[in-house]
Structure 1
Amino acid sequence: MLSVGVILLVFMMNYFVDKRQQQPNMTQSVSLTTSTSPDRKNIVEVKKMYRQSTDYFDYEQKQKVDSVRMYYGQSGGMLSQYKELKGIQPSKVHDVDVYWKSNQHVIIDVINTKQQQRNKVKKRFNYHFTEL
């Protein structure tokens, strides 16, 4: 009985030590597309964001699609500003198109990937950089 208690205690200590050392919800991303404005001064990058966690029953790393974001800024600089593309299911986004209406106005189309509706725009986002 004592050995069962010791084994259980060791298991629980390992569980809590592992949980403390892990960074919760570490975010990773995959770039879907990048586009530069006609005057080459502005740039946008559309990324699919993933949340990572550990399943403690089998100690496996799991990733879940969290959101789709449009990062924007000046060419040559770090793209730290972003706008989240809302009203879509992030896990079903596989293709996007970016069009520039002007050097400050960008249009992002989320494309439907179903075979019978290929190349049909599912959702359209309009952003003007002066309003962001």
Structure 2
Amino acid sequence: VRDDIRDIAPGLDAFAMTSSWGESFSLAAAEAMACAVPAIVTDIGDCAWVVGDASLVARPNDTESITKALHRLLSISHAERRKIGERARARIREHFSMKEYVRRHAELYANAIEAAPRARKAER
């Protein structure tokens, strides 16, 4: 476990998470995106959902698809990659920040509390 990732990641041109199976929420991809690094993930588990339209998604176990995604990112200008990276950072802030996490859980709990009396009545 490294504690200097936030110092290293911003220097990357791209981040690739090319899992073949077993991914749920890709924390590594989210961390790279939070550092404004464009990500490439394979469409496994929730990886595509995490990156949304702010980064690239390749087909799993498909070297051609992964290679095309890498080539696409590495063949554009640094400024264009930076724009993609900033979109990636914005996506993480908008959907996965602690503020958003707390808001969504508060909403979930409020809905559960509101539904509880109706559920008890239905049981009777």
In proportion to residue count, which structure has more helix? 2
Q: Establish whether TM, by shorter chain, passes 0.5.
A: no
In proportion to residue count, which structure has more strand? 1
TM-score bracket relative to the smaller structure: under 0.3
Higher relative contact order (CA 8 A, sep 6+): 2
